[in-house]
Structure 1
């Protein structure tokens, strides 16, 4: 057993009533108020289209779709997010995200189409960290849930009814393994004990009904009294699902309750043996692409020769390389905007006028 203090909830929630801003809204609202209080001027409904350089290659401003040129007295800071909604860039860098876009599972702003990355590339910027995205699973079988809710005991099986990953590994790693399965098919399998822990209290991408009646009616959750019937509804070999569950339950009957197939799983292990049994397809949703313009420790954009592009900075998801090829963990995206945003601003202010 793991000490409770080691497994304290790590998902970041805020607000105490329905009128409180939460998640990204609260983050952006605080930054917006601070900027407005400082006197920052915002130009809305106006897209920057091209960076402007002088004869010496110094970035001096941007051209916008209102036909105006906006000058950066000391520098230009790109903070346009990544290519979350760009099918063209997904085709070039990340086929996993191609599938997510095709299935309509992108949860990012529709305007995140990689404009800042293209603008940087047009003046010779190098790219870094391309190829991953921040994924969020809809699956409730064997995955961590919300703060204060126990881990749901369940297993993931592929279209052949076989386990292929430790379900409580890092969620980005689990989602990558789901996508790697044939036809990208995986099912979360759990029982009545796990079902009692889920429902509207867990939710994930969208709240679940307490008894799964809505999900069973629309086919997103299947339910059966036997594993054989459940496997038939899933369209997977029942002998393999049964073998996976038999192995799991044998492990859970042992005093140490250790997962013999994927030993990295450390806690939240329970037998899956109480009917009715449930299964739901495992899908991932995109919270944003990883990768963008290469920057240095001063948040300066780096060109393909390894040199800083004069008076050009990048912060947030438009910059790449500081996360790797898949999302390292909850809160990293916010931390990156704060750390590199502050770095870009402080270093830009120290520039001489362009």
Structure 2
């Protein structure tokens, strides 16, 4: 039987950090990953980390106390106070470790998602610059999970966050930005000889690529196509290893000092969604890699007595479905996180009534969809309604702006199935099955709000977060504009997700807890495999990856400390 000091299940941000820190502290480490490529959901993400009191900009007034004041206000359910405090305390230490290891990071001017709350700031989100994927080696560079084609220019060219927002908002010089992105790819002749993949790893791929350069340099073993089947626990209740399956064959691997479960959530397991969620939604509305996170680690841990927490919550994000290009009978899920709050638009439920400040954070938008559906039974999906001005300038999920993709270029069979168009609001309401008078009244009210700049119903455009993603050329409110120019459009918006927010219940040391609240010896969890320390809350950009990295770091520290206490050579 093979034996390692530490076995990590899953290769996303949490797993990579646990492996990196464990190897740094002298442990022999194995990562097992069921997919054909490493990097997990993290590699397809925006790659942002929410890190309070990070200190990257010097002494700018943030502190652990301010962060906890903010978090205690915005979290609306009971959470483990010690675990929450551990996150706030350990996240800056984790970031210092990354910096000291050579991973470049920088603070981003991204408002917290509850900007009206005491303690909120606009500098807690941390990002990594673009990473040259070929630094992983030509044999590994194509094996890291790739960013979704829907997040690339013309499904091919990698963009960083600055370039993405420049094109999304059609900022001045956006055509030059697009030309630069395309030219950069084709002029990279050396990379084109190795792979069609853009060597520029941006956003989540940039973070994960830089992490794995460090992971591989420290001698960590990575096994792909290797899926967790079960956890091995001895008679004393100690986790001693895992059983995995690779190409149809099962075998057991022993762990001397610990197992870290970092295999993502359960958003692609409909049975678990039906079991846990008040409004289950469908797996196919998730925006994470298709059929990837099925909760195998949660199921395996429950089988050895583990408990769960916050499993009624997801990291919600509004999504839209369109046919996948160049793939028959497949669909792509497109995020609409910022589209729903643009001017010249409104979101309504199937009664034609608004239910949310559309420009709010995407997780709050999803929570409002759930609450409205429980109340009205007329949500999930809801509808994004917009006019020709919106259509000309902004995307709507996967529907690109008319300046890029005019109506004439949209396949005829998409109309009145994936997207809807009409010459009047009444005709549009009839096409989508929404009561015409109610929708007309909603649009009329929104047009009045656009004139005054004030939304008395939900306060759209009334805080720094809303305005951050609005259109500064629109006045008096960058998030409000009259819906008055035909043709009128509608697309259905589903309650998608970035993964599940609940999972295995863990303590401040990232140890998995049993039903009595006691640690299962040598078993740890981090990332979406573990219950979020934030409970029902998404505090700011990077609220998923920040805790994933931090508790991967915490878990490795605890495992290594125990190993050294038992006499392992330093």
Partner of 2:338: 144
Equivalent position of 1:235 in the other structure: 433
RMSD: 3.1
SS at match of 1:223: strand
Length, aligned pairs only? 339
Q: In structure 2, do the counterparts of structure 1 residues 158 and 228 end up closer, same or farther at CA, with 3 Å as the change threshold?
A: same
The question of 1:41 aligning with 2:250 is answered no
- The reply to whether residue 24 of structure 1 matches residue 204 of structure 2 is yes
Q: 2:552 aligns to what?
A: 341
SS in 2 for 1:25: helix
Q: Distance in 1 between matches of 2:384 and 2:457?
A: 17
Residue in structure 1 matching 2:358, options 140, 160, 167: 167
Change in Cα spacing, 1:326 to 1:31, as seen in structure 2 (3 Å) is same
- Secondary structure of the residue that 1:320 maps to in structure 2? coil
- Give the superposition deviation at 1:350: 0.8
Q: Which residue does 2:268 correspond to in 1?
A: 85
Matches within 5 A, 1:118-197: 118-138=299-319, 144-145=338-339, 151-179=342-370, 180=373, 181-182=377-378, 184-197=380-393
Does 2:288 align with 1:107?
yes
CA–CA distance in structure 2, aligned partners of residues 104 and 271 of structure 1: 30
Greater Cα shift, 157-166 or 291-300: 157-166
Q: Distance in 1 between matches of 2:388 and 2:541?
A: 29
> Structure 1 residue 92: deviation in Å?
0.9
Query: Compared with structure 1, are the counterparts of its residues 232 and 117 closer, same or farther at alpha carbon in structure 2 (3 Å cutoff)?
Result: same
Residues 449 and 480, structure 2, Cα contact 8 Å, conserved in 1? no
Matched with 1:73 is 256
CA distance in 1, matches of 2:251, 2:439: 63
Cα offsets for 1:224-267 (capped at 9, x unmatched): 3322222222222222111112222222223xx11122235414
Q: Structure 2 vs 1, CA of residues 221 and 50 (structure 1 numbering), >3 Å: closer, same or farther?
A: closer
In the alignment, structure 2 segments of 5+ residues that lack a partner are: 1-108, 112-121, 128-159, 164-180, 186-197, 321-333, 468-478
Distance 1:321 1:333 in 2: 8
Distance 2:110 2:497 in 1: 29
Compared CA separation, residues 185 and 56, structure 1 to 2 (3 A): closer
Give unmatched runs, 5+ long, in structure 1: none
**What's the counterpart of residue 53 of structure 1?**
233
1:210 is aligned to 2:405:
yes
The match for 1:317 is: 528
8 Å Cα contact 1:117-1:292 kept in structure 2: yes
In 2: Cα distance, 1:94 partner to 1:143 partner? 21
Matched ranges for 1:223-262 at <5 A: 223-254=421-452, 257-262=453-458
1:105-137 per-residue CA deviation (whole Å, 9 max, x = no partner) reads: 553352321111122212221111111222332
Shift of 1:11: 10
Instruction: Give the superposition deviation at 1:192.
Output: 2.0
Report what 1:332 is aligned to: 543
Q: Distance in 2 between matches of 1:277 and 1:49?
A: 51
Conserved 8 A contact 1:84-1:106 = no
SS at match of 1:162: coil
Higher alpha-carbon deviation: 281-290 or 34-43: 281-290
Q: Indicate conservation of the 8 Å contact 1:50/1:64, yes or no.
A: yes
Once the two structures are TM-superposed, the CA of residue 217 in structure 1 deviates from its matched residue by 4.7
Per-residue Cα deviation, 1:12-31 (whole angstroms, up to 9, x for no partner): 74586552123433333222
1:110 aligns to what SS in structure 2?
A: coil
CA spacing shift, 1:52–1:106, aligned 2, 3 Å = same
> Deviations 1:301-324 (Å, cap 9, x if unpaired)?
111111121111111111113132
User: What is the CA deviation profile of residues 131-153 of structure 1, one whole-angstrom value per residue up to 9, with x for unaligned ones?
Assistant: 1222332369x96249xxx9343
CA contact (8 A) 1:215 1:221 kept: no
For the residue of structure 1 that corresponds to 2:256, the secondary structure is coil
1:301 counterpart SS class: strand
Q: Could you list the structure 1 runs, at least 4 aligned residues long, displaced by more than 6 angstroms after superposition.
A: 5-12
Residue among 238, 243, 252 paired with 1:63: 243
Out of 210-219 and 84-93, give the one that drifted further. Answer: 210-219
When residues 124 and 284 of structure 1 are mapped into structure 2, their CA distance, relative to the original with a 3 A threshold, is same
2:229/2:243 contact within 8 Å kept: yes
**Aligned in 2, Cα 1:169/1:70: closer, same or farther, shift over 3 Å?**
same
Contact kept, 8 Å, 2:355 with 2:368, in 1: the verdict is: yes
Q: Contact 2:318 / 2:497 at 8 angstroms: preserved in 1? A: no
Distance 1:46 1:223, change over 3 A: closer
Which range moves more in the overlay, 186-195 or 321-330?
321-330
Instruction: Pick the aligned partner of 1:270 from 481, 506, 510.
Output: 481
Task: Name the SS for the 2:223 alignment partner.
Answer: coil
Question: CA contact under 8 A between 1:84 and 1:112: conserved in structure 2?
Answer: yes
Question: Residue 216 of structure 1: CA displacement?
Answer: 6.7
Are 2:463 and 1:283 aligned?
A: no
